[in-house]
Structure 1
Amino acid sequence: MKIENAVLNDVPELCGLLTILFTQEEEFRPDFQKQAAGLNKIILTPEAGCILKASADGKIIGMVNLLFTISTYTGGRVAILEDMVVLPEYRGGGTGAKMLQAAKDKAAQEGCTRITLLTDGSNTGAQKFYKKHSFEKSDMVAMRYDAEAH
């Protein structure tokens, strides 16, 4: 298995992974055009973030998205981790753990001192996975404003 930065030619396969992820999440619905647009923007704007892909057997088997921002609390750069997904047939073999470590390493390379992520409240498997890899539950409550809905 190889983990590296995604490139524009990877976007269709990455959209397939996002379809799997968004079908599992309660709040999101897959939209190929929107997901492709977002992936393209991240890949073309490396100062904003990166998409890491895991490849094996001639295909992309997993991905994780890091977005970079500034925190007034830490006084420096931090990362938001999103879109962590592994093809179902490759789960349980260490791909997720290796991708998460690669994301931690990339965030550190970028000068980030903290990584924040969200999971569905009902996704206890994901929560257990992240806790196993040194993420701690926060008492902060996620809230969202959707300009398209208002």
Structure 2
Amino acid sequence: MAHPDIRPATPEDLPDLIRLVKDLATYEKEPDAAVATEDDFRAALFPTGKGATPMAWCHVAEAGEGRDRQVVGMALWFLTFSTWTGRHGIHLEDLYVEPRHRGSGLGKALLETLAQECRERGYKRLEWSVLRWNAPSIAFYDSLDATPQDEWLTYRLDGDALEALGRDDD
């Protein structure tokens, strides 16, 4: 059964998504790193044109009543693929609930919604990353019986290193 305060994001939510991403970046001590725009999110989440397919999806959490109802959280995700299971999964890129609404059950409801997406679509995994210093989030994930994948290291290429490796020097 769907949680009444969780719904798929719509184009009208784009300003709230940008606000929440900036809040998350500040929480994660990287306020200047969040440079995505509404146009970037529109292109990824709500593409238009023939054959256009989203590259990412988002669910939002709402709180309040009537005209005071507002977006206070989000779960932005994309598909993965496991060669071992031969099935897709969901990678949760960002889960964020405004501090004043933490402990209200909205974070768990967002994760439950993604778990339901996995079950309904036959996906075998729901995965995400968490910063090692983020003890409150780690405790929350542990309370859900999520399993840390400590044996894996995450690597990233970006900036000059990405440009250099992707350069066509032929």
The SS at the match of 2:140 is helix
Which has the greater radius of gyration? 2
Cα distance in 1, alignment partners of residues 6 and 41 from structure 2 = 17
Find the partner of 2:94 among 76, 83, 88: 83
| Residues 35/101 of structure 1: CA separation in 2 closer, same or farther (3 Å cut) | farther
The residue that corresponds to 2:45 in the other structure is: 43
The answer to which of 103-112 and 114-123 deviates more is 103-112
Cα distance in 2, alignment partners of residues 17 and 35 from structure 1 = 12
Cα distance in 1, alignment partners of residues 37 and 147 from structure 2 = 28
The SS at the match of 2:156 is coil
Q: What is the identity percentage for the equivalent residue pairs of Structure 1 and Structure 2?
A: 24
The residue that corresponds to 2:34 in the other structure is: 30
Retained in 1: the 8 A contact 2:57–2:77? yes
The SS at the match of 2:132 is coil
The residue that corresponds to 1:21 in the other structure is: 24
User: What's the offset of the Cα at 1:74?
Assistant: 1.6
Q: TM-score, normalised by structure 1?
A: 0.88
CA root-mean-square deviation: 1.9
- The residue type paired with residue 11 of structure 2 is L
Q: Which runs of 5+ in 2 are unaligned?
A: 48-52, 162-170
The answer to which of 135-144 and 35-44 deviates more is 35-44
The residue that corresponds to 1:56 in the other structure is: 63
Deviation string, structure 1 residues 91-129 (Cα, Å, up to 9, x no partner): 111111111111111232232110110111111111111
Q: Which runs of 5+ in 1 are unaligned?
A: none
Larger relative contact order, structure 1 or 2 (CA cutoff 8 Å, min sep 6) = 1
- The residue type paired with residue 73 of structure 1 is W
Cα distance in 2, alignment partners of residues 128 and 35 from structure 1 = 32
